[in-house]
Amino acid sequence: MIAPFLIAYLVVFAYPVYKMFALSFTDAPLIGEGQWVGFGNYVKLFGQKLFYTSVWNTGYFVVLTVIPNTLIGLGLALMVVRLKGWLQSLILVLFFIPYILPVSVVTQIWQWVLDQQFGIAQHIIEFFTGKRVSVFRDPVWAMPMVALVTVWWTNGFNLLLFIAGLRNIPQDYYEAAMLDGATRLQCFRRITWPLIWPVTALVLTLQLILQLKIFDQVYLMTEGGPFNSTYVLLQLVYREAFRLNHGGVGSAVAVMLFLIIVVVSVLQYQLLRVRER
Amino acid sequence: MPGKTIGNALLLVLTFCIACMWAFPIYWAVVTSIKPEQEVVMKTTFIPEVFNFSAYYFALFQTNLATWYLNSIVTSITVTVVVIVISVMCAYALSQIVFPGRKLLYGIILASFMVPSQALVVSQFVLMHRLGLINTWGGIILPQLIVPVVVIVYKQFFDSVPKELREAAKLDGCGEFQILFKLYLPLNWGITTALAIITYIMAWNAFLWPFLVTSSENMMTVTVGITQISDAFGVKYARDMAVAILAAMPVAVAYLLFQKRVTQALMLSSGIKG
């Protein structure tokens, strides 16, 4: 009974994991055999400016998305959870629907909304900066805009988790606190925040791992430009392996990404557990 | 307390306004798609002056959209069915059958959470090339079949089924397959629908892998194909929005029909029992 899953697992998962490490020590092209080069690919990577740029940009993107996305999710959940009945369902749908859209649809919609000439969001940008900005062609604006679109796209899921968490808090706690004359702010600090912390920790962890794997939005909106200001690690994998035909180097970048994700998630797990105590 | 009522009403209005702003880009895309191309660039109208469906006509009949739809439907439905069947079998075995290495296998499946599938694209591509599956449905489908979280969710549900049920069925002479498909699966039917819908949505929305494994326009899925349209025909907003809306339609409909199931599946797979 486990055979079908196990076979599929070994063929399309376990073997590629092994192969990713094996390839990273060779100078293989994308298709075909290569020579063993030891740590050559890694040495090459560490001498390459684009590698550091990609690491930096991936980190920058994580900073721009993870905490804002978590806070906005919590804020919206606190508002939505007070509503009742069909109104709550309706509003939840409005917030959640971006999350189920395919990434290419999301990027097409936002490219239109932010279009330099006719985009409707340019009215807002013009109000603040006094001029229209071609946001995806401007090195300062590009990454924050990709982050903004990502938050819009993925926030529904966080909102959902927070609402589930808030619903699990017994109402009597608030009633008791209100009787004692607690203000809303006190209620939040003493009751909601400590009890919602496990969900917050979960959202932070999921977000962090998810956003480190950024590729689709960047590729579709900016292709890593302008001037590599949005170049990220997975894009480097794509470039080395599929554009430049360096399967070995591409795998080495993939291994680095893999290690970063493992280290970061273990670290964060420890950190959040400490704070829980 | 009148102050409290006013406060609540204000909060309600505020929440509603934010929600409308949040959903506005989608509304804007829909509105744009039913305007004539000139109106789109001439002025900002929130309700179209003329309803014009030529963008949809173009998207449906003058692009490869129909082929991409076929590819997406075939691949995402196959992925959904196969993922559910192989995962449910594996989970049943892990939960109910004692065999050597069971704990180890479960541990390995749990550990695969740590591996980002995106990091595997290079070696998966090499493998698919060896198997001659580049630009085929098989090539799109295969790497999407391993979804460890489905196995884990099922196992947790099977663990909570009372043991007596299985023993009674065994005494009646049922084989393991019969017990699974006639007893355990119907008992967990709600979960199966939830996981199937979410798997279908994820498969339909998959971008990176189908994008890498298909280079011929005839093999692309909808999500990959639509990115080719503006490249091929230049930018035309009403048309691009019509294409985007058609691409999102199958998941949007699935979501609106099965809202509760979608949210239930997401919460289960993230570890919160909803």
Asked, for residue A178, whether it belongs to a domain, the answer is: yes
Question: pLDDT averaged over chain B?
Answer: 89
| Interchain pair B205, A102: CB under 8 A | yes
Distance from CA of A71 to the nearest CA of B (A): 15
CB A265 within 8 A of CB A205: yes
The closest of B215, B208, B125, B211 to A31, measured between CA atoms, is B125
Cα B144 to Cα A164, A235, B130, B141, distances in angstroms: 29, 20, 18, 6
Quote the pTM value.
0.91
Residue of chain B nearest A111, judged by CA positions: B237
ipTM for this model: 0.90
Distance CA A40, CA B249 (A): 48
| Interchain pair B241, A108: CB under 8 A | yes
CB B220 within 8 A of CB B68: yes
| Interchain pair A102, B227: CB under 8 A | no
Q: Please report where in the chains the tokens 């962890």 appear, as a residue.
A: A205
CB B242 within 8 A of CB B218: no
- Chain A CB contacts of B180 below 8 Å: 1
pLDDT (tens digit per residue) in B16-32: 999 999 999 999 999 99
- Chain A CB contacts of B20 below 8 Å: 94
Collapsed DSSP state (helix, strand, coil) of residue B146: coil
Mean pLDDT of B227-231: 77
| Interchain pair B94, A110: CB under 8 A | no
Asked, for residue A6, whether it belongs to a domain, the answer is: no
Distance from CA of A140 to the nearest CA of B (A): 23
Asked, for residue A21, whether it belongs to a domain, the answer is: no
Model confidence at B3, pLDDT cuts 50, 70, 90, reads low
- Chain A CB contacts of B124 below 8 Å: 12, 16
Asked, for residue A107, whether it belongs to a domain, the answer is: yes
Asked, for residue B46, whether it belongs to a domain, the answer is: no
The closest of A9, A40, A8, A44 to A23, measured between CA atoms, is A40
pLDDT (tens digit per residue) in B60-91: 888 889 999 999 999 999 999 999 999 999 99
Is the preceding peptide bond at A226 cis, omega within 30 degrees of 0?
A: yes
Higher pLDDT, B251 or B273: B251
- What number of C-beta contacts closer than 8 Å exist between A and B? 229
Distance from CA of A166 to the nearest CA of B (A): 12
Q: Which amino acid is at A212?
A: L
Q: Please report where in the chains the tokens 């990713």 appear, as a residue.
A: A20
Collapsed DSSP state (helix, strand, coil) of residue A36: strand
Model confidence at A277, pLDDT cuts 50, 70, 90, reads very low
Q: How far apart are the first and last CA of chain B?
A: 34
Residue of chain A nearest B236, judged by CA positions: A112
pLDDT (tens digit per residue) in A206-264: 899 899 999 999 999 998 878 889 999 999 999 999 999 999 999 999 999 999 999 98
Q: Which tokens sit at A68?
A: 């804002």
Interface test with B, best of A104, A123, A238, A262 (most B CBs within 10 A): A104
Cα B44 to Cα A118, A121, B39, B41, B242, distances in angstroms: 9, 11, 8, 8, 18
| Interchain pair A216, B127: CB under 8 A | no
Position B222 pLDDT exceeds 70: yes
| Interchain pair A104, B90: CB under 8 A | no
* Total H helices, total E strands in chain A: 14, 0
Asked, for residue B100, whether it belongs to a domain, the answer is: yes
| Interchain pair A97, B23: CB under 8 A | yes
Distance from CA of B188 to the nearest CA of A (A): 18
CB A275 within 8 A of CB A58: no
Q: Please report where in the chains the tokens 């000139």 appear, as a residue.
A: B38
Asked, for residue A1, whether it belongs to a domain, the answer is: no
**E strand or H helix at B65:** helix B65-96
% of residues, chain A, pLDDT over 90: 54
Q: Count up the domains in chain A and report the number.
A: 1
Collapsed DSSP state (helix, strand, coil) of residue A26: strand
- Chain A CB contacts of B212 below 8 Å: 238, 242
Q: Is A138 exposed, middle or buried (0-12, 13-18, 19+ CB in 10 A)?
A: middle
Cα B69 to Cα A59, B201, B204, B232, B250, distances in angstroms: 36, 14, 10, 18, 10
Asked, for residue B192, whether it belongs to a domain, the answer is: yes
Distance CA B156, CA B125 (A): 33
Q: Which amino acid is at B234?
A: G
Residue A112: which of B15, B29, B208 has the nearest Cβ? Answer: B29
Distance CA A267, CA A251 (A): 24
**Rg, C-alpha atoms of chain A:** 23
- Chain B CB contacts of A87 below 8 Å: 12
| Interchain pair A164, B274: CB under 8 A | yes
CB A23 within 8 A of CB B120: no
Q: Count up the domains in chain B and report the number.
A: 1
Distance from CA of B227 to the nearest CA of A (A): 7
Question: CATH code at B176?
Answer: 1.10.3720.10
Model confidence at A154, pLDDT cuts 50, 70, 90, reads very high
Asked, for residue A28, whether it belongs to a domain, the answer is: no
Asked, for residue B174, whether it belongs to a domain, the answer is: yes
- Chain B CB contacts of A250 below 8 Å: 122
Asked, for residue B153, whether it belongs to a domain, the answer is: yes
Distance from CA of A139 to the nearest CA of B (A): 23
Asked, for residue A7, whether it belongs to a domain, the answer is: no
Question: CATH code at A212?
Answer: 1.10.3720.10
| Per-residue pLDDT, A186 | 87
The closest of B274, B251, B23 to A160, measured between CA atoms, is B274
The closest of B69, B63, B74, B64 to B218, measured between CA atoms, is B64
Distance CA B60, CA B110 (A): 43
- Chain B CB contacts of A19 below 8 Å: 123, 126-127
Distance CA A196, CA A180 (A): 22
Q: Report the DSSP beta bridge partners of residue A26.
A: A36
- Domain residues for the domain of B161 are 64-228
The closest of B199, B97, B118, B200 to B153, measured between CA atoms, is B199
- Chain B CB contacts of A110 below 8 Å: 25
- Chain A CB contacts of B181 below 8 Å: none
- Domain residues for the domain of A67 are 36-276
Asked, for residue A24, whether it belongs to a domain, the answer is: no
Model confidence at B166, pLDDT cuts 50, 70, 90, reads confident
